[in-house]
Structure 1
Amino acid sequence: MLVDATSVPPNRGGVARYIAGLLDGLAALDVRVDVVVKPADLAWLRDTAPTHRYHPAPTWTSSRPLRLVWEQLGLPGMLRRVGADVLHSPHYTFPVLHAARTVVTLHDATFFSDPGAHSALKVRFFRAWTRLARRLARATIAPSAATVAELDRLAGRPRRPTVVAHLGVDRGVFHPPTDDELRAFRAAHGMADGDDWIAFLGTVEPRKRLPELIAAHTALTAAEPATPPLLVAGGFGWDDTARALLERAGDHPGAPLRYLGYLPLEELRAFLGGSRAVVYPSIAEGFGLPVLEAMASGADVLTTDRLAIPEVGGDTVTYTDPDAVPIQDALATMLADEPAARAARADRIARAGRRAAGFTWAACAERHVEVYA
């Protein structure tokens, strides 16, 4: 079995979390695989899941266009050299001439169901590869039943049914933060002990509805000046409106809106679990990993019931419509400080933590092993 990990992005977000989690889950099952990886990611993945056998790809695969060329021309040779019968391509694209030996992961159906959430180029590219994978690949995997349903509805008949493998959460990283971790996070970001905040974590792109969240928070702050500041963490995608709002705000301690950019992985549980609320008003998710990570970190989560998110949150998170006024109203209710509101919040957080514990990378890996066989 060869896993192609060369699609790990430079920021090691997104698909990198999936690849690292899957390899860790396979190791927990005592399943060893071969992994091809870009040289820059070799030490990181080897530290994450050291029991596997790692092979460096050419250094020039750090260029995305050249990596796609290598995938078609060089990866088949790697498959032969390691003696693997099956290849796992974990991010849509795969060597077409070896499709019958390849398992492909399709993370998202929104290239079909919500094309306006992506650039036109991404829509054309990922629609084409999704259709090819479903027609040609040995098997396809998706992270949620909602994604499979959307693919079946919009992307044509597959060669065989797409398998659901829910993602997991790394409980070594995402768990309720300690008091020391919260003090360190506040100190690192210019906050005093006891300061509260509202958190958003994710790529800044249209489907995440950040302009609506910012408008909701602005209105709530105008009505109730004691509203905690909104702290946004994550990289810029292609949402020009949200980008302009965040760049204008900058990162100024004490301001009602702050853009923190990328946060180190070791800060995320404090950022999420220490917040008064994590707000993730996305309208299109293949799974909703930020919601799961927030639940595992002890956060009170406000999100939407669009696509896959209810498979993750169940009845342990609060749902809202993804527009400014409903977000404002729901957030105001969550931030209320009456005894009944505090008790309801504690109950949601406890139930969310128990639910999050059921999403493990070992369980995800078990589904993959079944498909690999």
Structure 2
Amino acid sequence: MTAGRPPRVLIDATSVPTDRGGVGRYVDGLLGALGKVCGSGVELAVVSLRTDLERYTRMLPGAEIIPAPAAVAHRPARLAWEQTGLPLLAQQVGAEVLHSPFYTCPLRAGCPVTVTVHDATFFTEPEHYDKSRRTFFRSAIKTSLRRADRVIVPSKATRDELIRLLDADPTRIDVAYHGVDQAAFHAPTEEEKARVRARLGLGNSSYVAFLGAKEPRKNVPNLIRGWARAVADRVDPPALVIAGGQGHDEDIDRAVAEVPSHLRLLRPGYLRYADLPGFLGGALVAAYPSYGEGFGLPILEAMACAAPVLTTPRLSLPEVGGDAVAYTSEDPEQIGTDLAALLDDEQRRLSLAKAGFDRAKEFTWESSAEVHIAAWSRARS
């Protein structure tokens, strides 16, 4: 290794799901920013699913993009390949550092390893995960903290929880806040808002928005109950639109069944990426009453779309939202009270929308990339 020379890093992007999701947003945002400094701050090789080859080749013209075996599209095969094929690939491309962006890493990589641990909620909020998922990720986090040369986390709250709960070495943890793609997530035009309302069949009706996975930790059932409390007695009640993946929270159906028949609740599933600014920025309120997040990318993306945001002060969320969002608790009664107060106060919604939009500009993928490069340089040395 040559002092002062950019480290040669192999990034394993095979964990990116086809629907992108949170890990996809992270990897895409990071690689996009690295593409702007590739050749000066870092020398990159990226291994990805075959479906992402064109995307990353276009994004990283100066990097070596390597197709992973087709079988790794399936998680069990990917985890097995991570332990055997990935270290071999790292050796073949001359990697000085291997970066694993989603909790797990090879036990014997043959070079220094850095791992992104996205959150500690598998320990702080265990009741919101099924046993198999909780057991897997708890084990993966413990292993990565023990094996990785450096661990990258997206917030100080996550760092502090890893230290508090798992006695992690604070000198080996780097905090790299996520960024937001200002081109993809922007204050929408009236035409963009209208297009989304038309696609959702809302016409000119107003709505409250949720965008995210339907996992128990996201607290969607209590959002539904709180929304119903907030709007049930209004002359023209705004709809609630629950967008995103289907997830595995069985209580959502029970909460939906409790909604009064005169209220309108939509569950459109995944929205087109190009429609997200119009969806978020066109909402009266973007509500995200999570029990806790490692970062909280959905609220940052909503802020970037100039949406007034209602969330909880749990774990990392105040690091992201600061004074630019409204806060509530996790129970439906308080959600209903705080949501109703926002719906009744247009001036506050406008103020939050502007404050959130301005604050979102402080979170950039370029800043995140700089922290990653520094971590890789430390790992190499």
TM range, smaller chain: over 0.9
One-letter code aligned to 2:245: G
Matched residue SS, 1:87: strand
Do the aligned residues in 1 keep the contact of 2:155 with 2:294 (CA within 8 Å)? yes
Aligned residues of 1:26 and 1:32 also touching (Cα < 8 A): no
- The match for 2:66 among 55, 62, 65 is 55
Where does residue 89 of structure 2 map in the other structure? 78
Counting only pairs closer than 5 Å after superposition, residues 211-360 of structure 1 correspond to structure 2 as: 211-243=221-253, 245=255, 256-336=264-344, 341-360=345-364
Instruction: Report whether the alignment pairs 1:364 with 2:374.
Output: no
Q: Does 1:209 align with 2:219?
A: yes
SS at match of 2:323: coil
Q: CA deviation at 1:28?
A: 2.4
Query: Aligned partners of 1:176, 1:367: CA distance in 2, in Å?
Result: 28
What SS class does the counterpart of residue 111 from structure 1 fall into? helix
State how 1:184-199 maps to structure 2 within 5 Å.
184-192=195-203, 194-199=204-209
Calculate the TM-score normalised by the size of structure 1.
0.93
Q: Which structure 1 segments of 5+ residues have no match?
A: none
The structural deviation recorded for 1:47 is 3.7
CA contact (8 A) 1:134 1:160 kept: no
Amino acid aligned to 1:370? A
User: How far, CA to CA, are the matches of 2:226 and 2:280 in structure 1?
Assistant: 19
Cα 1:100/1:48, change in 2 over 3 Å? closer
| Cα displacement (A) at 1:83 | 1.1
- Please say if residues 43 and 63 of structure 2, whose CA atoms lie closer than 8 Å, have aligned partners that are also in contact: yes
Distance 1:179 1:287, change over 3 A: same
Quote how far apart the aligned CAs of 1:236 are: 1.9
1:195 aligned counterpart, secondary structure: coil
Report the Cα distance in structure 1 between the residues aligned to 2:87 and 2:45, rounded to whole angstroms: 14
Query: Is the CA contact 2:232–2:263 (under 8 Å) kept in the aligned structure 1?
Result: no
Residue 261 of structure 1: how far off its partner (Å): 0.4
2:141 counterpart of 1:130: yes
Check the 8 A contact 2:35/2:62 in 1, yes or no. Answer: yes
Secondary structure at the aligned position of 1:27 is classed as helix
Deviation at 1:118, TM superposition (A): 1.1
Answer whether contact 1:208 1:281 (CA < 8 A) is retained: yes
CA distance in 1, matches of 2:333, 2:354: 28
Q: Could you tell me how far 1:331 is from its partner in structure 2? A: 0.8
SS at match of 1:33: strand
CA distance in 2, matches of 1:103, 1:310: 27
Percent identity at matched positions?
A: 42
1:72-111 C-alpha deviation (Å, 9 max, x unpaired): 0100111111111100000011110127611000001011
Distance in 2 separating the partners of 1:364 and 1:9: 21
* Equivalent pair of 1:281/1:302 in contact (CA under 8 Å): yes
Q: What is the Cα-based RMSD across aligned positions, in Å? A: 1.9
In 1, Cα distance between equivalents of 2:328 and 2:139:
33
What is the alpha-carbon distance in structure 2 between the residues aligned to residue 334 and residue 159 of structure 1?
40
Q: Could you say if the C-alpha distance between residues 290 and 49 of structure 1 is closer, same or farther in structure 2, counting changes exceeding 3 Å?
A: farther
Could you say if the C-alpha distance between residues 153 and 100 of structure 1 is closer, same or farther in structure 2, counting changes exceeding 3 Å? Answer: farther
SS in 2 for 1:14: helix
TM-fit CA distance, 1:247: 9.1
Distance 1:122 1:159 in 2: 26
Of the three residues 158, 161, 175, the one matched with 2:172 is 161
Distance apart, 1:220 and its partner CA: 2.2
Which residue type is aligned with residue 101 of structure 2? P
Is contact 1:134-1:159 (8 Å) kept? no
Deviations 1:127-181 (A, max 9, x none): 1111111112110000000001111111233384311000000001000111221
Deviation at 1:44, TM superposition (A): 2.9
Is 1:21 the equivalent of 2:29? yes
Question: What is the one-letter code of the residue matched to 1:356?
Answer: A
Q: Deviations over 1:232-264 (max 9, x none)?
A: 001122211114555999xx9x96111010111
Deviation, 1:205, is 1.1
Work out the CA distance in 1 between the residues paired with 2:185 and 2:308: 14
C-alpha distance in structure 2 between counterparts of 1:234 and 1:51, whole Å? 34
Q: Distance in 2 between matches of 1:45 and 1:229?
A: 38
Q: 2:372 is aligned with what amino acid?
A: H
Measured after TM superposition, the shift of residue 225 of structure 1 is 3.8
Partners of 1:248 and 1:175 in 2: CA distance:
35
Distance 1:50 1:195, change over 3 A: farther
2:148 and 2:60 map into 1 onto residues whose CA distance is: 27
Match of 2:11 among 3, 7, 29: 3
TM-score, normalised to structure 2's length?
Answer: 0.92
